[in-house]
Amino acid sequence: MEREDGVQQPLSSEQVMSEVHLGCPPHHSGPHLSHFTISLPPRHENSILRGNTDAVEDMSISASTMFDLDEDGDLILTRRKKPPSHNLVLTIQHNITSSIRRVGLQVWRAELVLTDFVLHLMSTSSDFDKVVALELGAGTGLVGILLARVAKTVFITDHGDKVLENCEKNVDLNAEIFHGKASVHVRELDWKDSWPPQEENTSPSKGRYSWTQSEIEELKKASLLLAADVIYSDDLTDAFFSILKKLMLDNPEKVLYLAMEKRYNFSLDDLDVVANGYSHFRSYLITEQADDAGCKQLDSASEPFFVGEQIDLRYIPCYVRNYNRGNDVELWKIKLNHKALS
């Protein structure tokens, strides 16, 4: 449970509850099917209408323009048609509450913010068309499922059979929205394990969520990585950036888009409500607008390091209906700087 000040309140038996529980019946705690309605704008509109709307509206009418008049001699105005749009409804199975170890069974606010961002780029550019993509800590798989509308291959990954089974069900529930040639794989990726996994650990006999050697090779081609709400404990943050570095070393062009929510707790050391998990996350990043200390660290780096750029959410429309972004969700673009390797 979350108070208005953002402090997470545990339920009994270490149960936690997301603020996203669309259409869930009162006092329900088990799996529930929610229908997320998404407003989709038309893709790749005419560049003049998209980029120069003001110029189009300000154009004067030339003398040669023909006018239609009604029987009373009044001007008949042609109304500008509203740009076509349509809705997409995704059916997502998720839990209303879960243990801390299985928070991937729930839908969290940062996941919806990342969904908005992915939809925005899908609608306004071809950047994600035919990419090989990896979603880390995918939980319900909502973001990866949407990306399969345009991507070539999507690997939706998380840890634990319960979470993966739920994610696989969501893939099946929404398979009709994928484009015809998309390949979607639900796979286990434990950030604390070695990468790539040893060949003997990728046998189908080890489980249906294990990796094949061909999939590992395909993943090396991935240019797009996505993650939402994976920053909530320091040990997992350490594991996340450890596996992220291994994955990004395969391809210097890889980029991660990460949505996260600052979570505040009362600290006895600070005698204040602080977001320690967020501070630990930021310690891994050098921003492109680094201060003097950051620039010195940049110049003297002997190892690859992460460069982060915060994306202004004010310019990302809300395509997912019926949720409140709040003030504590951030979106980051993160790359691994290979300068130290050159």
pLDDT tens string 149-192? 999 999 999 999 999 999 999 999 999 999 888 999 999 999 99
- Residue 233's CB is within 10 A of a number of other CB atoms, namely 15
Q: Read off the pLDDT band of 311 (50, 70, 90).
A: very high
Closest CA to 280 of 337, 240, 311: 240
Cβ neighbours of 194 (radius 10 Å): 10
- What are the two backbone dihedrals, phi and then psi, of residue 175, each rounded to the nearest 5 degrees? -60, -25
Q: Residue 98 and residue 31: Cα distance in Å, rounded?
A: 10
Dist. CA 160–CA 307, nearest whole Å: 30
Distance CA 93, CA 163 (A): 11
Whole-angstrom distance, CA of residue 218 vs CA of residue 235:
29
pLDDT at 83 over 80: no
What contacts 108, CB < 8 A, 6 or more positions away? 18, 19, 20, 139, 228, 229, 261
Return the exposure string of 234-256: e unless at least 16 CB atoms fall within 10 Å of the residue's CB, then b.
eeebebbbebbbebbeebeebbb
At 314, which amino acid appears?
A: R
- Please give the pLDDT value at position 43: 60
Taking the complete model, does pTM exceed 0.75, yes or no?
yes
Q: CA torsion sign, 48 to 52 to 54 to 59?
A: negative
> Residue 61: which pLDDT band, with cuts at 50, 70 and 90?
very low
Report in angstroms the alpha-carbon separations of 236 from 138, 171, 191: 14, 26, 8
How large is the average pLDDT for residues 142-152? 96
Does the pLDDT at position 218 exceed 90?
yes
Model confidence at 338, pLDDT cuts 50, 70, 90, reads confident
Within the chain, strands assigned E span 15-17, 31-40, 86-95, 97-99, 132-136, 153-158, 183-188, 224-228, 255-261, 265-267, 272-274, 285-287, 305-311, 329-337
CA distance 322 to 224: 28
Q: Range with the lowest mean pLDDT among 86-90, 205-209, 214-218, 296-300?
A: 296-300
| Burial status of residue 339 (CB atoms within 10 A of its CB: 0-12, 13-18, 19 or more) | middle
What does the pLDDT read at residue 50?
36
The tokens describing 65, both together, are 């323009």
Q: From the CB of residue 113, how many other CB atoms can be counted at a distance below 10 Å?
A: 27
On whether the CB atoms of residues 215 and 185 are closer than 8 A, the answer is yes
- Spatial separation of the C-alpha atoms in residues 49 and 66, rounded to whole Å: 22
Query: Can you tell me the mean pLDDT for 211-222?
Result: 94
Q: Which residue has the higher pLDDT, 333 or 207?
A: 333
How many residues appear in the chain? 342
- The tokens of 253 are what? 């062009």
